[in-house]
Amino acid sequence: MNKEGIKLVTIGGGSSYTPELMEGFIKRYDELPIREIWLVDIEDGREKLEIVGAMAQRMWDATPHNVKIYLSYDRKEALKDADFVTTQFRVGLLNARIKDERIPLSYGMLGQETNGAGGIFKALRTIPVILEIVEDMKKLCPNAWLINFTNPSGMVTETVLKYGKWEKVIGLCNVPITSTMKEPKLIGCKEGDLIYKFAGLNHFHWHKVFDLKGNDVTLDIIDAMYDPNVDSGIPANIFDVKFFKEQLVAMKMIPCGYHRYYYREQEMLEHSLEEYNGIGTRGQQVKQTESELFELYKDPNLDHKPEQLTKRGGTYYSDAACECINAIYNNKNVPMVVSTKNNGAVVDLPADSIVEVTSFIGSAGALPVAFGHLESAEKGWIQVMKNMEDVVEKAAVTGDYGLLLQAFILNPLITAGDDAVNVLNELLIAHKAYLPQFKDTIEKLEADGVTIKDEVVKQLIKEGL
């Protein structure tokens, strides 16, 4: 690490989350002596980067710390000699998310950012870019840590490890943090009064909870979750339909919020279709929220994170990144829930796969806590999901259409059959600007006359978005 202070680079610096990232670094400055922060984005994101960059500098100027914010559209310029690189980019911007949601829903299948067909295509667009970033890091900052919270975080992090051959990587998500912050109140405890053990995949994990005497209090929390007068801690972007209590009691574990898409697929699909036919999908709603946030960020007097950012759905992501960097830099060996190499923590999955588990974070990175075997139902789910992710990653790297079709057929949220093929083909065409690995396939589909069914998506494409 640089003795004169830390150089941080954020890829996707024009994100609406960046003010939260700045807040986290400001809060930890006494432990984390930052010298300079580079916010990197693409030309299409210039306006947002300039707005967020100016606000980030105002946030630092309001402190006694002399930290300089640099804005760049040249990734290589920014990465040189970086100590830490964080990634929070969205290939295709929010319009790509809207396509991911609306095309499956037009065929009566779930359209969601990290689950089902939408999650697969977000990975397909992101993986080639993250591998390019890794190649640049090998040349320009070979000792840097890569802290990823670009979704789908698990698949992106695994690609960095397996295909990029970059070991110094940790993936992050805000969902476990939300659980550890909100669940203690359900049983009359404070944050820090409970011990958590998480195991699974990103957006597909379970956890157990113990008190400070070692007593398992998981069932107490499950019982409290069904009190209609309490906040169950579900993320802002997930429709709140209750899990079947008998199922949770039987498994003696608490599933993450995203399990609703699998355990209550019917209700989640019905809600998504209602929004699709009404106020618009989550991506369309977030686009409006983002627009409002950037109007706030333009205020030359605003020098702190606005409360409205919590509506965005990914709150605490950035704070997790700051704490992870702090733990590595200062060898704190503190427990966090991260995506990291399994190494036997979840014995039902390969040792070299990426899992999301409780780990101790220090200068050596993430040291995962062993969870042991999962019961048959959870083991069955996680093995299907991990193998589906593995096939997606291979398809993203190779551009193999047959492999991609295999992933679609494996995915529990995609109804196998002709409609699955239609969804796959339409998504390929809708995202052709960001899928160079499928160029030949897309050209053939277009020559065969494949067209988009959804009118909103057709309009986005017509406008070049």
Which ranges constitute the DSSP H helices of 62-152?
75-79, 93-105, 116-140
Task: Kindly report the number of other CB atoms within 10 A of residue 76's CB atom.
Answer: 11
Run of H or E including 107: none
- What is the predicted pLDDT for the residue at 233? 65
Q: Report the share of the chain in percent with pLDDT over 90.
A: 91
| Amino acid in position 83 | D
- Supply the DSSP symbol for 374: P
Q: Reading across the β-sheet that carries 204-211, which strands appear in turn? A: 194-201, 204-211, 254-255
Q: Which range has the worst mean pLDDT, 30-44, 302-316, 405-419?
A: 302-316
What whole-number distance in Å separates Cα of residue 5 and Cα of residue 28? 13
Those residues with Cβ within 8 angstroms of residue 136's Cβ, 6 or more apart along the chain or in another chain? 75, 76, 79
Active site residues: 258
Q: Report the share of the chain in percent with pLDDT over 70.
A: 97
Tell me how far apart the terminal alpha carbons of the chain are, to the nearest angstrom. Answer: 41
Residue whose C-alpha is closest to residue 204's, from 16, 374, 62, 47: 374
- What is the predicted pLDDT for the residue at 320? 86
pTM for the full predicted model: 0.95
Phi then psi for 413, rounded to 5 degrees?
-95, 5
Give me the mean pLDDT over the 10-33 stretch.
94
Please say if the pLDDT value at position 309 is more than 90: no
pLDDT bucket at 305, cuts 50 / 70 / 90: confident
Please say if the pLDDT value at position 237 is more than 90: no
- What is the predicted pLDDT for the residue at 319? 77
Query: Each residue of 353-376: pLDDT tens digit?
Result: 999 999 999 999 999 999 999 999
User: Is residue 124 within 8 Å of 435, Cβ to Cβ?
Assistant: yes
Q: Which domains does the chain have, with CATH numbers?
A: 6-173 (3.40.50.720), 387-462 (no CATH)
Query: Each residue of 45-88: pLDDT tens digit?
Result: 999 999 999 999 999 999 999 999 999 999 999 999 999 999 99
- The residue behind tokens 């494996």 is 410
pLDDT bucket at 230, cuts 50 / 70 / 90: confident
